[in-house]
Structure 1
Amino acid sequence: MTRVNGTDQAPEPPVLSAERVTLGYGGTAVVHDVSLTVGAGGGVGLIGESGSGKTTLARALLGLLRPRSGAIRYGSRDLAELDRKGWTEFRGNVQPVFQDGSEALNPRMTVGASIGEALQVHHRMDRKERRERIAELLADVGLDAALAERRPHQLSGGQRQRVAIARALAVDPRVLVLDEPTSALDVTVQARILDLLERLAAERGLGYLLISHNLGVVARLCHTAHVMFAGRVVESGATLDLLTRPAHPYTLALRDAVPRIGGEPPKPAGRTEAAPATTGCPFRLRCPFAVDRCQEEAPRLKRVGTRNVACHRAKTVLELSAPGTPVEARRRARLRRSRGLWRRRRRR
């Protein structure tokens, strides 16, 4: 409960939420019993390797897939129960930004026409108002208004992604669902897109659901994160906690697989080629911490410290990743060596 003007009021529900959602294609379930919430003004990360179910969950959150069980909610309303007016409101408040801007934009339409279509449908603007608003939106994402006359193939990859973001912003959404928005871009363009997203979050109070396998991007944009493996959330909590002190072996393996400048090549733990186990813990065939219990009993999410973890050995993993352990000591030493190398090169 919160107090407003001396009276108790119930907290506002999140803009978008999944409640124990299970999803599948045909006879195969690909997402199992997943819950998360996304509110305005905050970033939520969804981390995992290819095939972990991240994009399938995002499609359900956008109303493109119906859950086999559980519920997708917009505010307090189930998407399955929305009427036509409710769907129009939902589409205006929850907008996607897809991975590949060249496929997300119609190649036969100019940039201005793509953005103007959303303005016409949701805001009923006349031609002059649309033209002015398109110029404003392009300026908001750092593009010249003259690009409105070009088609997608005449733009660079970074420009196309900015146009996709401008089109999503055209309807004044409260939440953006970002599916790998920078993975197809080079590093310098990635940095500009991330700067743009940070600025838009600060200026507009936007909420994000960011789907990515890039831990650096998630750490920069998201205050909370969920780690998925084989369609299940295996760890969730504050992003900083997850990435600095993982409590699940999979999160630890993801973090340790990130290359470091000046350090040794990353050495993934366990059998990274092993498929998820069908009994017991799905990660046990890759896990260096697995015990007999992992083969017999599938772990459930439980509170460990500051996060929720689905692992029988969570406390052991958490102790191993704590500051002061040999693993973390080696990590800090590699970082100091890389910083020293950078300073020596700079002095030269």
Structure 2
Amino acid sequence: MTLLAAEGVTLAYGTTAVVHDVSLTVDEGGVGLIGESGSGKTTLARALLGLLRPRSGVVRYGSADLAGLGRAGRAEFRRAVQPVFQDGSEALDPRMTAGASVAEALTTHHRVPRDERRDRVAALLTGVGLDPALAGRRPHEMSGGQRQRVAIARALAVEPRLLVLDEPTSALDVTVQARILDLLEGLAADRGLGYLLITHNLGVVGRLCRTSSVLFAGRVVESGPTADLLTRPAHPYTRALRDAVPRLGGEPPRTAGRTEAAPAPTGCPFRLRCPWAADRCRDEAPELRELGGRKVACHRAEEVLTTPASSIPASPAARVPRDGGEAPDAPRQ
């Protein structure tokens, strides 16, 4: 069942488009949105939450156009789709206690009578692994992991159908990240929650998400089952993200030198960083197409899919000018 969807969405700040014709479906279960900083992930999330209006395209909640919802429909949407942001210290009001922050959601959406709110807040804090005694603390009196759990408890207070999680563990240390991931996994299983997980952390998306989309320069370049994308990527950018993850005791990441070039202004946006780039990539932007149970926007996806790591072509990084201008064309492949 489709809970939330973007259909051909283009988003811009002023005259600058930052998300280009993106289609994405969030159904029951976990859906990942992967990409480096500046790829447009958070901008797209803001549109899915109704905080930005697309320049073109449609955001749908169920079958309804989000932009056309009336007052009652928007109230229902805000209850059903809840965000959890990257940094709990910024998401929580520093003047309010943890208990007051969670109770505010109950009050705004009229979920619980006044005389039952204290008990409900205590149950929500317990449900995310916190001592209810923390209800009296303000954000600066809690650890990063505790603040993030309070933010999750506040989102769950209104019994949503879907969580939009924007880098929910990136501000936390490794041990706290593991606890938050355990919490999210358990909540999804126990409550039947759907969620959109926005991240650059491939380990997180591999654990929580059944399907994923990879965003580069505001464009979906590959989408499909998460396990397939991470184990056998068909787009050079997906492969670069995977290969850039350090491995304990392993060799340095092969792609570390291919991360400086800006998107190409013509042809394939990734071609200035792509070891598979050919003449066709300079002249023709690839369309998103079906390939073996996934979608990929690459002219040479079949080769990328089958090329072993030891045979990846040489990096084009040395050809990228320091002034940010157009690099010389890649040699013919």
Q: TM-score, normalised by structure 2?
A: 0.92
Partner Cα distance (2:106, 2:303) in 1:
53
**Secondary structure, aligned partner of 1:265:** coil
Higher deviation after alignment, 268-277 or 57-66: 268-277
- Structure 1 pair 269–161 and aligned structure 2 pair: CA distance change class (3 A): closer
Deviation at 1:125, TM superposition (A): 2.8
- Paired amino acid for 2:12: G
Same amino acid, percent of matched pairs? 77
2:42 aligned partner:
55
1:73 matched residue in structure 2: 60
Q: What is the SS of the residue equivalent to 1:318?
A: helix
Structure 2, unmatched stretches of 5+, are 313-333
Where does residue 231 of structure 1 map in the other structure?
218
Distance apart, 1:302 and its partner CA: 0.3
Partner of 1:220 in structure 2? 207
Whether the aligned pair in 2 keeps the contact of 1:15 and 1:75 (CA below 8 Å) is yes
- Number of the residue aligned with 1:126: 113
1:251 to 235, 238, 260: 238
Q: Any conservation in 1 of the 2:106–2:112 contact (CA below 8 Å)?
A: yes
What is the CA-CA distance between 1:39 and the residue it aligns to? 1.8
Q: Is the 8 A contact 1:141 1:162 kept in 2?
A: yes
Supply the AA of the counterpart residue of 2:197. L
Partner of 2:79: 92
- In 2, are the aligned partners of 1:270 and 1:288 still within 8 Å (CA)? no
Q: Mapping of 1:1-348 within 5 angstroms?
A: 12=1, 14-40=2-28, 42-268=29-255, 271-321=258-308, 326=310
**1:256: Cα distance to partner?**
0.5
Say if 1:21 and 1:215 are closer, same or farther in 2 by CA, change over 3 A. same
Q: CA deviation at 1:126?
A: 3.1
* Whole-angstrom distance in 1 between the partners of 2:257 and 2:236: 10
Task: Tell me the CA shift for residue 128 of structure 1.
Answer: 2.5
Per-residue deviation, 1:269: 6.5
Report the alpha carbon displacement of residue 271 of structure 1 after superposing the two structures with TM: 3.2
The corresponding residue for 2:322 is none
Tell me the secondary structure at the aligned position of residue 95 of structure 2.
Answer: coil
Q: 2:20 & 2:93 partners in 1: Cα distance?
A: 34
Q: Secondary structure at the match of 1:294?
A: helix
Distance in 2 of aligned mates of 1:247 and 1:270? 20
User: What is the rounded CA distance, in whole Å, between the counterparts of 2:161 and 2:51 in structure 1?
Assistant: 19
* CA offset digits 1:197-235 (Å, max 9, x no partner): 000000000011000000000000000000000000000
Listed one character per residue, the Cα deviations across residues 49-68 of structure 1 (whole Å, up to 9, x for unaligned) are: 11000000000000000001
User: How many residues in Structure 1 have an aligned counterpart in Structure 2?
Assistant: 312
Question: How far apart, CA to CA, are the structure 2 residues paired with 1:85 and 1:200?
Answer: 27
Distance 1:276 1:180, change over 3 A: same
Amino acid at match of 2:268: C
* Cα contact 2:111–2:158 (8 A) shared by 1: no
